[in-house]
Amino acid sequence: MHSVSNHAGQQVPLEQHINSQLVVRDLALQDYTTVWHAMQQFTDQRNASTPDQLWLLEHNPVFTLGQAGKEEHLLFPGDIPVVKVDRGGQVTYHGPGQLVVYVLFDLKRRNLGVRQLVTLLEQVLVSLLASYGINAYAKSDAPGVYVNDAKIASLGLRVRKGCTFHGLALNVNMDLAPFSRINPCGYAGMTMIQSNDLGGPQSIAEAKQRIVQCFMQQLNVATLQHTTGLDWQND
């Protein structure tokens, strides 16, 4: 196995060195389909030495329907577009004021299974909210994160070539009304809430900063590279 020197001059395995790095890509407000296709391209083009990335962004209003999604959970989408996508899960809503974090990880290199990654994402969210004194938790039968049986964050993933894309969505400070046009994640009557109303992160900028810290702790990441834009080939 190849090895490299770390910042302390010690020889460490190449995989361990790559796993200690994380690229954080801040994409601001984006059209859903553009970013979805970019995630697919990134995953197809990455190789064994490509550091894992987190893409942090907001989306223009959109309903997305997962691979097993049932049309019956779209109650009355109205003027909000519906996009059928290649992630797991049912239907959800994305819009301004919701922090979306796309998780572009090499699972094999990190020695993670899909269930372990879901648990890790849930723990990131739980620890983020716990730092504000909010008692959030995951449910074994309904992926996502909840507070008092109301949903504050959703999860949906796709694995291709042992690598993940899609990720999580945390409701921060948004218009929650569009959730009433669907059965969120396939659950009729599911109450959706947001951190702004619970004393948690009040803005997307605050939530971005805190969630990156939580990812660093969960992944034992030592080195962050911050960047913007979708042109990863010129990083």
How confident is the model over 79-88, as pLDDT tens digits? 999 999 999 8
Query: What is the pLDDT averaged over residues 56-71?
Result: 94
Q: Which residue in 234, 13, 227, 195 sits closest to 109, CA to CA? A: 13
Mean pLDDT value across the chain = 92
User: Within a domain: residue 67?
Assistant: yes
Domains in the chain, number: 1
**112 labelled as ligand-binding?**
no
Instruction: Give yes or no for residue 131 having a pLDDT over 70.
Output: yes
Looking at residue 87, what is its pLDDT? 92
Looking at residue 132, what is its pLDDT? 98
Query: What is the pLDDT averaged over residues 219-223?
Result: 89
Instruction: Give yes or no for residue 18 having a pLDDT over 80.
Output: yes
**95 labelled as ligand-binding?**
no
Looking at residue 1, what is its pLDDT? 40
CATH assignment at residue 77: 3.30.930.10
Catalytic residue among 138, 185, 207, 219: 185
User: Within a domain: residue 1?
Assistant: no
User: Within a domain: residue 18?
Assistant: no
How confident is the model over 4-17, as pLDDT tens digits? 444 555 555 667 77
Looking at residue 31, what is its pLDDT? 97
Return the higher-pLDDT residue of 94 and 48.
Answer: 94
The answer to whether residue 185 is catalytic is yes
User: Within a domain: residue 11?
Assistant: no
Query: What are the residues whose beta carbons fall under 8 Å from the beta carbon of 234, sequence distance 6 or more?
Result: none
User: Within a domain: residue 230?
Assistant: no
**162 labelled as ligand-binding?**
no
Domain that holds residue 69: 24-221
Q: Where are the alpha helices (DSSP H) in the chain?
A: 14-19, 32-45, 107-110, 114-130, 204-219
User: Within a domain: residue 12?
Assistant: no
